[in-house]
A and B are shown apart, each in its own frame.
Chain A
Amino acid sequence: MSLSDLILSLADNKQMLGLRYAEWATRAPSLEADIAAAAMGLDDLGHSRVLYGCLEPLGADPRGLDRESDAASLHALTYFDEPWSEWAQFVAANAILDTAFTAMIEACVGGSVEVLQHRLRKMLMEERYHFLHGRSWLKSGISQEPLNRAWVEAIEWFGPPDGDVATLHREGKLSMGPDELHSRLEEQLATRSPSMTIDWKSWDPIRRRSRPGAIDERTFSMLRGLEEKKFAPSSAAAKEN
């Protein structure tokens, strides 16, 4: 897979992370946490726009027409397929997945590709606050299930030891490969990942995940603007038609 495929996956995941964060903007445990959820959602949606904008300068935009009709054409992780029903899912995504994406951004900024070096640097400053938020909530103690799931999906997302990320690292385009990214994530969170066995044979290198499935229909409609049309006045809808 190319660097463009990796950046598209990062963009799709940031977009979904931002949307899922935003869904908690009125459901978090405190007013401050509500505001933080909204702010982090805005940040990550903004990051996804920047990342999509990097695809053209990278020379190959892997986005096909199927993204308008097939939710499974988006390259986001299983973790984002459904809205989160528990705060623990929010915290696990915030602490582990958001930090994993930041580690990849660090690898891009530290790599040799100029457009990524320049455009992604500011994200690291904003992500510092996401990290502090996630780490602090993690300390408060949450259930293990979403944490384990987030860890597995993060390591899967980094890719196999001999996969595309390893190749991009060897070529100097990324400053870290899968092993270094894994270590960086553990170092940041000051903990070891749970023991896991990943069956790379069932791993989809485009979507960077092992399980089939896709984001829920309502979210997919919202991404395409279809949910918005439901609220449009009928006369306006008639004019459009």
Chain B
Amino acid sequence: MSTHFDFVVIGGGLVGAALARGIARENLRVCVLDEGDVAYRASRGNFALVWQQSKGINMPAYANWTRRSVELWPAYAEQLQNETNIDVALQQEGGFHLALSDAELERLVSIAERVNGQTGVNPYPYSVLNGDEIRRRLPGAGPDVVGGTYSPLDGHLNCLRLYRAMHRALIAAGVDYRPGNRVVRIDYTDSFSLSIEGGGQIKARHIALAAGLDNARLAPMVGLSAPVRPQRGNIIVTEKVAPFLKIPVQTVRQTDEGSVMIGDSQEESGLSEDINNGIMGVMARRAVRMFPAIADLNIVRMWACLRVLSPDGFPIYDHSVTHPGAFVATCHSGVTLAAVHAAVLAPHMAHGRLPPEAKSFSARRLHVSKTD
């Protein structure tokens, strides 16, 4: 088994898998080092949204980066289908944010205006709808819905099939995928030497840290900074239902397999993945107010996952100055950004650099005090 690679990607989740395949397609020998069966795996907890709305307040670069990815997604989905025979069921027919009070609606509108009003932003198209208009567009939306915002750019896909496709694609691209290989230490002489838990060393000329929460530990070893923290999100999944909700709402969507997913809570909970019943209750209540007919649906699963969050919530992409050849990549919208990671970030990394857009996402921004 090989111990020397051109590129090692630490982490086999949504970020790592996209990068590894992209780098391998530039004809480099790539290895992915992943953890075992029980790991935090933020990628398993994604809500499967490919989403533009509301992204990028105080960072127009993020709105633009997201936009680029949203537009690259159809081609990426097609490539994945060709490479793996797996259809990730990408559907980009728009998406809604729904408001259950006037204050909520005001906030939604304000967010859209703020994002789109920023200098240098590529504004996203959206419309503001009142309750009746929502009920016309979304049959089943309840009387408590006072309105919402809609963007034709939003969409969703089948998250589990995406995970499978991305994995199969990296294998098809010739990546050496190694689970159960947690990296305990990174040393650097003229190349990187990765010490594996349980013994063993892997050497690489370049490395990309895509290890989610573990990036915080690994980054300083190579002169980088990735101060990410866990933020718990709860998800409710119902039994399978005949299709009734074609267009996703940011917090309620129906999967192509029929189950209804309800999500988007945020708690600073440390590393606990316990579910919070009170929060589940609030989420369930809001979902039922949005779509009263789902009240009697049986919940088949409730679970919590840990998002990987930077201090300002935006991605971190960096290339180490002290340890050239070491990159870090972290974000919490791993699905939305998968396309741009694969099409833009990975090829640049393969050539030993970051794309120009990545400048805004350097961790250096976190050490500079903002004065706006």
Tell me if chain B binds chain A.
no
B residues bordering A, Cβ < 8 Å? none
